[in-house]
């Protein structure tokens, strides 16, 4: 994984840690309300004015839904980064094989099933047709 990818994962983990209930309680009420608005705006596409108007049980419910969306976004981002890393590794392997071939090294053996010889004789279409017997 590249340094940039690792930094993104660390940032995603930090975001998850900052949104735990314990971390939210440590913030001042004004900051918490602002951060909650930001989550509603970012993850649920609210306008800032609409996010300010929501309160009580509705606010708690919508914040839990925003948290679900955020976690899904982070999960998808992580999967995308892993896929990019897999593709990069596959490309590097292909480049190594190409370089080996150009330098005259035999390609690394790939597992293949040994072929079994045909034991049933020639196929029907290759057999000689039988001559009809002449009546005597």
The alpha carbon of residue 63 and the mean position of all alpha carbons in its chain are separated, in whole angstroms, by 26
Q: Which pLDDT tens digit goes with each residue over 42-82?
A: 999 999 999 999 999 999 999 999 999 999 999 999 999 99
CB 43 within 8 Å of CB 69 = yes
Prediction pTM value: 0.48
Q: For residue 132, is it within any domain?
A: no
* Residue 20 lies inside a defined structural domain of this protein: yes
19, part of any domain: yes
Question: Which SS3 state, helix, strand or coil, does residue 94 take?
Answer: helix
Q: Count how many domains the chain has.
A: 1
Could you tell me the end-to-end alpha-carbon distance of the chain, in angstroms, rounded to an integer? 87
Q: Distance from CA of residue 93 to its chain's centroid?
A: 20
Report if residue 121 sits inside a domain. Answer: no
Domain of residue 88 covers 3-102
């Amino acid at each position: 994984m590249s340094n940039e990818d690792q930094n993104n994962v660390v940032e995603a983990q930090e975001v998850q840690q900052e949104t735990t209930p314990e971390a939210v309680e440590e913030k001042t009420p004004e900051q918490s309300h602002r951060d909650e608005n930001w989550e509603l705006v970012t993850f649920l596409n609210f306008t800032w004015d609409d996010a300010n108007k929501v309160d009580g049980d509705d606010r708690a419910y919508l914040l839990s839904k925003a948290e679900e969306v955020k976690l899904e976004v982070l999960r998808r981002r992580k999967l995308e980064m892993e896929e990019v890393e897999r593709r990069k590794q596959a490309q590097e392997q292909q480049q190594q094989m190409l370089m080996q071939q150009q330098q005259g090294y035999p390609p690394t053996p790939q597992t293949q099933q040994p072929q079994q010889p045909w034991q049933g004789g020639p196929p029907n279409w290759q057999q000689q047709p039988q001559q009809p017997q002449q009546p005597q």
